[in-house]
Structure 1
Amino acid sequence: MQSSRTAMWGLAILVLFGVSTVHGQISAINCSPTLAASNLLGRITSSTATFDLCCVSQNPQVLPTDNVVLLVGSSSVINSLNPSTININNPPLYSNFSQSGLYAPVNSLASSLCTPNNLAGTRIGSNILCIQDSSLPFCNGPIPSLGPLSVIALVYRNGTLVAVTNSSAAIDLKNPKDYHSIDTSVKNRSAGMIVITVILPILSALLLVILTTMMFMKCCCCRAFTPSRCQQES
């Protein structure tokens, strides 16, 4: 009886030790994906967002040959995510976002995330083909707008998860204005704008008439009064 208890305690210790060892291999990178500089045009649209990931690729814990996988999802899903459940060989698909609230749009080498040619950042949501082909893994499809969203980066080395960043701050995509809501009535137009809008087409038509008349008169008068000169000019 005593020996069986000893064996059970030994097994429990080994299991605990194994779990702590596995989790110990996953480092926490003290950085978060952040939105690109505010002076970047279109850094946030109704379906895309551009992030600065230099703090990931330049971190001493990350090798240039490591794979960095970005996960995009609703803030509640990202904040409660267990990164060890994400398999780089079977990433969350874009087509399953409505069910899982999560997808993996990017799988890139760390060395390519912050280069002189990529100073603007990494744009998420730029590939509309993901809507047509639901089977594509790591498909950078338009970001579904379902409330506040967050991004987190996972670092894999030879297919094994080795490091995780903090999640980004929650972001809200822009809401495009419904064209039905645009007021086209005259009441919101100034008197000057109405006058200009009316006069410009009239002046353009008048100028066209004048030019056409001048060309016609020159041709007719020339042939009527000085035909020999017209033949020389033509």
Structure 2
Amino acid sequence: MELPLVLLVLTGLCAGRILEPVPYTPQITAKSLEGKLTATTFTLDQPLCIFDQYVNSTDDIWLVVAFTNATSNFKNPTSRVKIPPYQGLSTALHYMTLKTSIAFYPCAESRAASVLRVGSDTSCKDDRSREFCNGPLTSPGPYRVKFLILDSNGSKAETRWSQQISLKQGRRASAIDTWPGRRSGTMVVITSILSSFIGVLVILFLCTAAYECYKLWRLEEAPAPEEPPAEAFRGRQYDTHHIPPSQAPPQPPSDVPRPRSPAASL
């Protein structure tokens, strides 16, 4: 029983540093979140209270993202200068991102709702100076991920690889079936009613427009009113028969002397 252990140790010494296994498997979050899986991103549960006994405050915690068929060929970097960048994903089929420290994964119940969104940073996808770029994933995968702990001497501890993660894929326009026979009966009825309603509205609009045009045409065709003759505006003389004509007052007799005025007597 001791020989296999010795062989394992010797093999590990020949191959490099033996990594301490962390009993944790990354997984897609089970929380009810929108966009947990998109065409370029996926969301993991944050590993809270997982690395406390494996990590020092000066160690770095990385997330390794690799195509499923490339996990067996992935070699843990022996130093920080050999960390595979995001820009090499298309050729190396793996990269490392989300560099952080143990302070980001505290053992606290208040952070239970925290998640990690992989592929959410679009600003660094062409910037090779960003060693921890969390750029969008350009392929639907499938992918597998694991957490890797590095210290000043290289890789120190690692978690298990996750299950396969496949991103959402958009459907090609040519693959979408637009034949009405594939639609449900309710959809066909609703479409027919809406089409008929729109047709009625169009007919009413045309009838209203035609009626307004007809009224304008009638106004233009109507003859101009004739001007009344000038005699119509001349004044007319009315004889008021019901009022007797006024008579001149009676004259006094000629033999009656007229009274003299006071001025005349002086």
Category of TM-score, reference length = shorter chain: 0.5 to 0.7
1:168 corresponding residue in structure 2? 162
- Say yes or no: does 1:112 pair with 2:104: yes
* Aligned counterparts of 2:143 and 2:12: Cα–Cα separation in 1: 34
Note the alpha carbon deviations across 1:28-70, whole angstroms, 9 max, x for none: 1111211111533222222111112325745422346532111
The 2-side partners of 1:86 and 1:53 are apart by: 25
Q: Is the 8 A contact 2:140 2:168 kept in 1?
A: no
Q: Summarize the Cα distance change of 1:121–1:194 in structure 2 as closer, same or farther, 3 Å threshold.
A: same
Per the alignment, in what secondary structure is the counterpart of residue 91 of structure 2?
Answer: helix
2:189 equivalent in structure 1? 192
Q: CA deviation at 1:135?
A: 4.3
Identity of aligned residues (%): 25
Q: Which structure 1 residue ranges, 5 or more long, are not aligned?
A: 1-15, 210-234
SS of the residue 1:30 aligns to: coil
Pairing partner for 1:102 from 82, 90, 94 = 94
Describe how 1:4-23 pairs up with structure 2 within 5 A. 19=13, 23=17
2:150 pairs with 1:153: no
Contact 1:94–1:105 (CA under 8 A) maintained in structure 2: yes
Q: 1:8-31 CA distances to partner (integer Å, 9 max, x unpaired)?
A: xxxxxxxx69937x725x311111
Q: Answer whether contact 1:32 1:167 (CA < 8 A) is retained.
A: yes
Task: Using structure 1 for the length normalisation, give the TM-score.
Answer: 0.66
> Which residues of structure 2 form unaligned runs of 5+?
1-9, 207-266
Q: Any conservation in 2 of the 1:69–1:153 contact (CA below 8 Å)?
A: yes
> How far apart are the structure 2 equivalents of 1:93 and 1:129?
15
State the aligned residue count: 191
How far is 1:156 from its partner?
Answer: 2.3
The structure with the largest helix share of the pair is: 1
Residue-by-residue CA offset, 1:87-124 (whole Å, 9 max, x unaligned)? 33442122211111111121012332466457241010
Distance 2:157 2:21 in 1: 6
The alignment's C-alpha RMSD in Å is: 3.5
Partner of 1:3: none
Q: Distance in 2 between matches of 1:205 and 1:192?
A: 20
TM normalised by structure 2 equals 0.59
Deviates more, 1:35-44 or 1:182-191: 182-191
**Larger CA Rg, structure 1 vs 2:** 2
**In the alignment, is the contact (CA less than 8 A) between 2:28 and 2:42 conserved in 1?**
yes
Distance 1:146 1:49, change over 3 A: closer
Say if 2:31 is the partner of 1:45: no
Aligned 8 A contact 1:149 1:170 in 2: yes
Aligned residue number for residue 219 of structure 1 = none
2:80 counterpart SS class: coil
C-alpha distance in 2 between matches for 1:207 and 1:118: 62
Question: Which range moves more in the overlay, 57-66 or 198-207?
Answer: 198-207
Deviation at 1:148? 2.3
Question: Is 1:62 matched up with 2:48?
Answer: no
